[in-house]
Structure 1
């Protein structure tokens, strides 16, 4: 019988973090989890026409580049606390490495206006670099998984290669489609997602996991 640790909600200070709409290794963690641990992440909604705003990043203690984290979706629900059987995130992933951010994330003309790099507030030394170098949603490539087709409902599993120390896992852009709906064209909505995280050492080499691997629930 598998041992499932009790869910550990984010600390109150972390729950108030508005999330981030850019991806960069310098974005500070909102909380941390040990391998085998479970966590509930509160996810905001995406404003119409805006970049998705995932919750996080979440540090996986002991994770190093070349490892793989195995993320199990335990449940998804609406902001009012109700579980939603068909609810799923629109994206999930680990922070990119600095070289990838520098190559693909720099926005011509300087820092992106209105960039929201988590806890890196304007005026703090890392803000200018994080805002300028961070990857936009459309530039994230295969390092961040888009879940619009593979609906990661409860019972799903995601394998994610680690690019930076601590992995810095983020997830969000929750959708709650109507039963039988063919896709997720409707706007995202605020809610929560429960995840269990396990760390696999050197999983990139051992299992040849070179990009996000999505394993939707068989149900």
Structure 2
């Protein structure tokens, strides 16, 4: 078993750990430890909210969650010899839950505090707790479903250079300024509230806290991509922007549907992850991997082959306005169509919304060339349900 190089105590918040992690991106956050290329190691992770959500039936902790705190990440890891222009090769060897925390959570954030993909339709907070039984998950809040999880890190990435960080902040500030009063906002800008920056102190802490980018979106360094297929057996090739690469990881999910549509999104868990790292010198230029990572998929996946599939096209569901090849809108329509159908099976809209976000749902851009409508699909495995879910002709 790989040696544990980053440990967490589930009774303590990230800033209280023996070696704290971080919740902002910045090149000057000190490394938590260093490792040589070719080494394997284990990192333990807190859940993305830093322990704010409880295993109960009350959604008020979802409603009131402090989103300035997220995501708490383990690391950074300094990979000896890695330099800007290299590729960092990261193999995910294994991932698991802690024996003392064999449960996870999913939720719908209130519009005024984060919102989500369908916040116009579901503006109030809701929560589902999921019990983990080996490879399977069930929930007392969403009955008659059981599925195998595809456990993965929602967030894994390298540190940005100062130049890249400045570019992130510039373009996201420009976007927010285009509609500064929007709720939820168009982007989350640097904010000193609830910052965790490893072992930084004093004036350096204050400077990095003012500059550090929020971890909410995916960016050129990887980050919060929420790709459910990045599971054990996957290999990721990350661009290196700073000496040592400074790899960080967190936001573990026991399971997730494509899109993580509820934003509090997969089955969120604390846990551990085993990694192996190597370096391809000059790999960014050689393979033209300059702006985003690439990855090799894993041979390990839940074996579901029969799905019920819902289509959506790029027509606004409220106004009937036609959009031009808008895949975001088409995926939204596919999700809404799936939710309306699941209501006929006895689920509430909130239950169906959270199920789409947690189960191993397959999302696709099925058509992107036939003007004016993009077509997206949402495929739900039929075997996760403990009842027949397909339409039936009355006898």
Query: Could you tell me which residue of structure 1 aligns to residue 93 of structure 2?
Result: 74
Deviation at 1:149, TM superposition (A): 3.1
Q: Which has the higher contact order (CA 8 A, sep 6+)?
A: 1
CA distance in 1, matches of 2:199, 2:157: 18
- 1:200 aligned to 2:280? yes
Judge conservation of contact 2:218–2:225 (CA < 8 Å) in 1: no
Judge conservation of contact 2:83–2:245 (CA < 8 Å) in 1: yes
Judge conservation of contact 2:71–2:250 (CA < 8 Å) in 1: yes
Judge conservation of contact 1:90–1:146 (CA < 8 Å) in 2: yes
Question: Number of residues paired by the alignment?
Answer: 209
Q: Equivalent residue of 2:210, what SS?
A: helix
Distance 1:54 1:216, change over 3 A: farther
Q: Equivalent residue of 1:138, what SS?
A: coil
- Indicate which of 154, 157, 161 corresponds to 1:90: 154
- Indicate which of 92, 101, 105 corresponds to 2:165: 101
**TM-score calculated relative to the size of structure 2:** 0.48
CA distance in 2, matches of 1:147, 1:216: 15
Q: Equivalent residue of 1:192, what SS?
A: strand
Deviation at 1:137, TM superposition (A): 1.7
Q: Equivalent residue of 2:216, what SS?
A: helix
Distance 1:153 1:11, change over 3 A: closer
Query: Could you tell me which residue of structure 1 aligns to residue 257 of structure 2?
Result: 182
Q: Equivalent residue of 1:197, what SS?
A: strand
Query: Could you tell me which residue of structure 2 aligns to residue 214 of structure 1?
Result: 295
Q: Equivalent residue of 1:19, what SS?
A: coil
Query: Could you tell me which residue of structure 1 aligns to residue 3 of structure 2?
Result: 8
For residues 91-116 of structure 1, give each alpha carbon's deviation from its aligned partner in whole angstroms, at most 9, with x where no partner exists. 11100001222343489898521111
Greater radius of gyration (CA): 2
Structure 2 runs not aligned, ≥5 long: 9-16, 50-61, 103-133, 136-148, 174-188, 301-395
Q: 18-27 or 96-105: which moved more?
A: 96-105
Q: 138-147 or 53-62: which moved more?
A: 138-147
Q: Equivalent residue of 2:152, what SS?
A: coil
Structure 1 runs of 4+ off > 4 angstroms?
81-85, 106-111
CA distance in 2, matches of 1:140, 1:100: 14
- 1:28-177 alignment, distance < 5 Å: 28-47=30-49, 48=62, 49=65, 50=67, 51-80=70-99, 86-105=150-169, 111-121=191-201, 124-138=202-216, 141-177=219-255
Distance 1:46 1:110, change over 3 A: closer
Deviation at 1:65, TM superposition (A): 0.3
Structural RMSD (CA): 2.8
Distance 1:206 1:117, change over 3 A: same
